Chain A
Amino acid sequence: MKLYEYEAKTILTKYKIPVPQGGIATTSAQAKEVASKLTPPYAVKAQVLVAGRGKAGGILFANTPLEAEIVANKILGMEIKGTKVHSVWVEEKINVKKELYFGITTDRSRRCYVAIASSAGGMDIEEVASTAPEKIVRYFIDPVFGFHTYNARSLAKKLGYAGSQMQDLANIFCQLYTAAMDYDAELMEMNPLVETAEGRFAAADARLIIDDNALFRHSEYKERQTAEETELSPQEIKAQKSDLAYVKLNGNIGIIGNGAGLVMATLDAVQLYGGRPANFLDAGGGASPEQMAAALDIVLSDPNVGVVFINILGGITRCDDVAKGILEAKQRVGFTKPIVIRLVGTNEEEGRRMLTAQGIHVLNSMEEAAAEAVEIAKTRGGSN
């Protein structure tokens, strides 16, 4: 789960990492009020979860509270990469001498956390990583021993700092590591971490992505996630409520499967036969009848869908449960569109029997079923 900048900065403050003084505003009048309590000039920043807001005009500067009100008005109601801006963070603009980068994330192949630091922080850090990799320094953190001040000092030294600046920076690095661990961060970064003209350091921007699987340890954010459902499409809201992984795509063939790999391979197969998938929907390893019914409901309610292709290979999912779900959905919402079903695996005989008894045709091969779905989509079209 991605956190907003202001949420991440609130956490940094809790861990005594310096951030510019600021406050949150949902109206331009509020922005003015926040600014009047701060020292000018100000930075007014759109609070959105998509990256690249700076380049999209989501960060503006102001010299007076009135100007802050005007620019806040511009930003509020703006759309950045499809997301509406509902709030702005107004903060004291820092006097930047140099932009650094520091972040903590996981390293898959080493199976550990890694601290990443660079003296070339800012908007183009990803480009730096590919064009000037020597400007990025890493420390792989032993899970047993953790990240110590001497590790942090060594990173600060490699960024070119000595004396008290090196110590200050090392403290910030250590604090960020502690915060990242406490909040189950998939990624926690300060970019830029700014060296000010006075030689101090402050996190001008902060990003925190909490591991979704650890949200049960951070209930305060889990609640907010549900509160923000208004941002999502009706299909996405439903998917989230039913614990289904759903991604909307541009085609007209609705896809339901179990297991991310199989669903991805199903999309690939449909494309290979000349069809276009309308979505990705993974009903999960242990899909219950209720989840199956919810999945069908979601896909059928997408107006772009002309045909639904259900591809189930039962392992932990039992085919009789899947059949139960399909029949439940049929009863509840009716089959408003043609459905192609491929069902094999655990308890497949029972699942097949249940569906065939209701006159539903079940196929054996994924490729055969994909081809059939593409054929139906061609003749029926759908609205796309």
Chain B
Amino acid sequence: MGVIVNSQTKAIVWGITGTQGRFHTKLMLEYGTKIVAGVTPGKGGTFMEGVSVYDTGEEALQRHEANAAIVFVPAPFAADAAQEAIETGLKTVVIITEHVPVKDSIQVMARAKRDKVTIIGPNTPGIITPEMCKLGIMPAHIFRKGIVGIASRSGTLTYEIAAGLTALGLGQSTCIGLGGDPIVGLSFVDVLKMFAKDKQTKAVALIGEIGGNAEEQAAEYISQEDYPKPVVAFIAGRTAPPGKRMGHAGAIIMGKAGTAESKIEAFKAVGVAVADRPRDVAKLLEERLQKKMR
């Protein structure tokens, strides 16, 4: 089954005529994702990669049946696109765009919560249920259908770890890029809840990084709920010096809160294995699946 996206997903691409939007629409179509329409204000009536382009989300929905959106629109206009997608009635909205202002993101999340819409991102590689649906920009050949659910705060690091799993014969149920920004739609806890219910998912990999306390909250949840599936984690930023910004707006450490040690300790304390190197995630998962332990 996988979570959030599957063979029933029909998506509209916002910003389909931009360089990235066009390139990745082509790759998503090649992967078998159902891209039913595109939206670019001012380009309505044209076609891109064989997909009809509309000026507004409303027009696209009048002509096509859809339930998801993926946004490639530049940062200053990305929140506007996401708001439009939500109002049009789409229930999953993936925001690939990076550098979206926090104030805009907060407004998007508030509306999404009210309208029960799942937001993935911003600043995310998207989501993939391998061999079924890819709503994102990840290199598809790395992923295989399987039993490991992945949730990650980092794009490229997700590919690194997924590739390691695939190499060891461990496929993935669904891989979700939560997004690298301070304010994103889904937390580790949200995703853990979904993976707990998903029959295909037999184990979970969490890929975290310094900054914030989403990992600590995940550890608390795993312990409270006596989480039913094995979980393995990797945390990036062990060597990051305090007070420095390491690229992601999210990856800032202030004092002790949000350090790699704090997160690693939190996971280890509740029995979640933490990998030292990205490639070790696969081995640790395999061990735990064989022993049926957490």
In the bound complex, do residue A212 and residue B249 qualify as a contact, i.e. CB atoms below 8 Å apart? yes
Stretch with Cβ within 8 A of A (4 or more), from B37-45, B101-109, B195-203 = B101-109
Shortest Cβ distance from residue A38 to the other chain B in the assembled complex, whole angstroms: 35
Q: In the bound complex, how far is the Cα of B277 from the Cα of A262, in angstroms?
A: 11
- Does the CB pair A260–B251 fall under 8 Å? yes
Report the interface size for chain A: residues with CB under 8 A from the other chain: 53
Q: Are B240 and A211 in contact (CB under 8 A)?
A: no
CB atoms of B125 and A247 under 8 A apart:
no
Q: Is A268 an interface position by the 8 A CB rule?
A: yes
Are B107 and A271 closer than 8 Å at their CB atoms? no
Does residue A132 face the partner (Cβ distance < 8 Å to B)?
Answer: no
- In the complex, whether B224 has a CB less than 8 A from a CB of chain A is no
Q: Mark interface residues in B249-287 (1 if CB within 8 Å of A CB, else 0).
A: 101000100000000000000000000111100000000
Is B20 a contact of A214 with CB atoms below 8 Å? no
List residues of chain B with CB within 8 A of the CB of A344: 163
The answer to whether B137 touches A315 (Cβ under 8 A) is yes
Residue on A nearest B238 in the bound complex, by CB: A268
A111 surroundings in chain B (CB, below 8 A) = 105-106, 109-110, 113, 183
- With A264-B240, A272-B276, A345-B159 known to touch, is A259 a contact of B103 (CB < 8 Å)? no
Q: A211-B102, A249-B241, A264-B251 are contacts. A269–B277 as well, Cβ < 8 Å?
A: yes
Say yes or no: is A337 at the interface (Cβ < 8 Å to chain B).
Answer: no
Contact A268-B236, Cβ < 8 Å, known A112-B106, A313-B159: yes
- B residues within 8 A CB of A144? 110, 114
Interface flags, B7-28, vs A, CB<8A=1, else 0 = 0000000000000100010010
Q: How many Å lie between the Cα of A271 and that of B210 in the bound state?
A: 17
* Residues of B133-163 whose CB lies within 8 A of A: 137-139, 142, 152-160, 163
Nearest-Cβ distance from residue B291 to partner chain A, whole angstroms = 25
Q: A212-B249, A264-B210, A264-B246 are in contact. Are A184 and B277 (CB under 8 A)?
A: no
Q: A268-B239, A280-B247, A285-B98 are in contact. Are A261 and B207 (CB under 8 A)?
A: yes
Contact of B238 with A286 in the complex, beta carbons under 8 Å = no
13 contacts between A and B (CB under 8 A): A111-B110, A216-B76, A247-B241, A258-B156, A260-B154, A264-B209, A265-B154, A268-B237, A271-B239, A277-B239, A315-B125, A345-B139, A346-B27
Report A's interface with B, CB cutoff 8 A. 106, 108-109, 111-113, 126, 142-144, 181, 184, 186, 211-214, 216-217, 245, 247, 249, 257-265, 267-269, 271-272, 277, 280, 282, 284-286, 313-316, 344-346, 348, 365-367
Extra 14 A-B pairs, beta carbons < 8 Å, given A109-B213, A261-B153, A261-B180? A112-B106, A211-B102, A258-B156, A260-B248, A260-B251, A261-B236, A262-B160, A268-B237, A280-B247, A313-B156, A315-B137, A316-B137, A345-B139, A345-B142
- Top 5 nearest A-B pairs (CB, nearest first) are A261-B154, A260-B247, A259-B156, A262-B156, A214-B101
